[in-house]
Structure 1
Amino acid sequence: MSFLWAILAGLVIGVLAKLVVPGRQPIPLWLTILLGIVGGLIGNALAGVFGVRDTGGIDWIRHIFQIGAAAVLIALVSPLWSRGRA
């Protein structure tokens, strides 16, 4: 069941990260989900380093770290993907 949650979280994080990155990102949905999952893991690690991983209520700062990390990954991978497909 945690595998399905990781895919769902990766989808949400990846789509939100694509909205943050300016311009068009011509990457497929599966790559968006994969980068969202990796960004979520990196964001969790960063939140742990800064001591904001588990707080009372909604962990907004952790989610910002997750989306930010996924946005950086999408910004880095998107030009490589489009260059490789041309």
Structure 2
Amino acid sequence: MIGYLRDGFGVDPICRVLQLSPSTYFARKQRPKSARQLRDEELIPLVTAVWEDSGRTYGAPRHPRPHPRRAPRRLLHHRAADG
């Protein structure tokens, strides 16, 4: 966020608002990327490709008809609606 806004406002004012020392910001920028960050950079294009291939859907796939495990719930729902 600071890197994005620093050209317009400068690092010091942004750090003041965030209650963060400017030296902390610059020290963080000097550190090498963590193993998690490196792995995330590998996975993001793969996850994005799957998301695009699925029509930009997220979560469990939708079934055109009720799943067999949902049948009891569906039947009880209809029974309750009948009174």
TM-score range, shorter chain: under 0.3
Give the TM-score of the pair, scaled to structure 2: 0.28
Q: Which has the larger radius of gyration?
A: 2
Q: Which has the higher helix share?
A: 1
